Structure 1
């Protein structure tokens, strides 16, 4: 396969994106420095994993790139699944930077449009979700994309999926220099936030899952990372908005409520679940210099050393009883931390090498799209790091 290096271009925005602003032709920054391609392996396993989900990418001609739409391969309802596609967008941003090829930004933008057009609508696709309009397409939130409409594992909305999607929109906004993607993330944040909060007489708490129409609580427990991810991502959206000329304090009230949850809980502790462990470790990068985040990071790394040891009970299980994407979550958190720990680094390599065989051979659980995109992220975690987008103006204080 041959990679094509192109001058950076900004593909035509969809009508959905144009609806978020009165100026659909906002100027781009012409001074973005050229960064030489850093990824040169034409047989890179991460790219193969992405192509297994999103179809041929590296061989597409220019005219095919401009008309590309993502195939229904993300493993969810009508082919879209919010968590998988959030990773897909972030991976495309990384590939755009690593290959210095704007076509991967075109793929990311097309994937965003597809997700909003599918998961931002009812399951029969007859209308937008309740509260959403053509002008404000994310006011109704976004469906998870579960295969079944109802039941214990039925469709609805997850807070942590939504915040990960907001992060992907924010990174795309920075990568393209287009504030409208961050505007959409802000729109989504303001729409879903109050639906996940229950204000009691004695305390405020969060819920884990709500219905597609955002009217009913489907799972009342609190997610172990929801407040941390919410606080970190909402701060990022607000800070980015200021650098893009928007007013300050757009999420002031929402941020205060996340802070209240964390104060109530006192000392937050990392989870032994590998996915939560890794994503929590990743989230600490959103809180540089904060004492509680440093303590959380150190505790997370200690747990990771225990659970990712090749002789640990978790990794000694038969592959049929292991979940690749959960282990990839732990690996991603460590890789984004840039930890200087040779043993832990070797353990991460060992986990990735173990699953690489299964991913390449299409064996077992690892063939799931969610596992493939998370594997690709582990191989090239770039855009998951807030400081990654070189030459782009980062929000002050981050």
Structure 2
């Protein structure tokens, strides 16, 4: 940890760090293992960075899914409203229409299942007010299921098969990725 291994960061690294550190702090509080100051300086640092930099999503399906997933943890925050508005615009305007097209040999080369499953996972976690998008999510899952399961072993993406299947399962049943998965006192 003496030198930077990757000289760039992703679009959502700062907001992801902010949310994850807050989740860790809240977990420590819940179990009474640390005081209120645990991770306070790290959370403040990310908050300052987020205040200086514009949050922007690429048009990538995984980015839109990650944006909605992160935003669902704190819907009322300004950064969350901004990010979810961008992600929903991408989902409604481009992703679902493009992803619902049948897979062809040519389109399959430009589409990655795990990225589209990431978008589906984010939409399912955000869920509130997204009922019209849920049919599109199911269409995307059905299209890829046929490709992965029915054509399975003959798949061109053998290197991606493990991540494709893991992301497919997560998109199908978000469970532990949803903020309400762990209930108070449970």
Tell me, yes or no, if the aligned pair for 2:123 and 2:130 is still in contact at 8 Å: no
> Aligned residue for 1:387?
180
Query: Could you report, residue by residue, the CA deviation over 1:216-268 in whole angstroms, capped at 9, with x for unpaired residues?
Result: 32321121111111000100100110110122211011111111110110x41
Tell me, yes or no, if the aligned pair for 2:12 and 2:55 is still in contact at 8 Å: no
Structure 2, unpaired ranges of 5+ = none
C-alpha separation in 1, matches of 2:11 and 2:112? 19
Tell me, yes or no, if the aligned pair for 1:287 and 1:293 is still in contact at 8 Å: yes
Give the secondary-structure state (helix, strand or coil) at the position aligned to 2:109: helix
What is the TM-score normalised by the length of structure 2? Answer: 0.86
Which has the higher mean CA deviation after the structures are superposed, 214-223 or 237-246?
214-223
C-alpha separation in 1, matches of 2:57 and 2:81? 12
CA RMSD of aligned residues (A): 2.3
What is the TM-score normalised by the length of structure 1? Answer: 0.42
> Aligned residue for 2:60?
273
Tell me, yes or no, if the aligned pair for 1:308 and 1:348 is still in contact at 8 Å: no
Query: Could you report, residue by residue, the CA deviation over 1:306-334 in whole angstroms, capped at 9, with x for unpaired residues?
Result: 22233479987611321110111111100
> Aligned residue for 2:27?
240
Matching of residues 317-396 of structure 1 within 5 Å: 318-360=107-149, 361-362=151-152, 363-365=155-157, 368-390=161-183, 392-393=184-185
C-alpha separation in 2, matches of 1:239 and 1:312? 37
Give the one of 72, 75, 90 matched to 1:303.
90
Give the one of 37, 40, 47 matched to 1:249.
37
Structure 1, unpaired ranges of 5+ = 1-213
Give the secondary-structure state (helix, strand or coil) at the position aligned to 2:5: strand
> Aligned residue for 2:48?
260
C-alpha separation in 2, matches of 1:388 and 1:338? 14
Give the secondary-structure state (helix, strand or coil) at the position aligned to 1:365: coil
Give the secondary-structure state (helix, strand or coil) at the position aligned to 1:322: coil
Matching of residues 167-178 of structure 1 within 5 Å: none
C-alpha separation in 2, matches of 1:312 and 1:379? 16
Instruction: Report the CA distance shift for 1:311/1:276 in structure 2 as closer, same or farther (over 3 A).
Output: closer
Task: For residue 290 of structure 1, report the CA deviation from its aligned partner.
Answer: 1.0
C-alpha separation in 2, matches of 1:314 and 1:277? 18
> Which structure has the larger Rg?
1
Matching of residues 139-178 of structure 1 within 5 Å: none
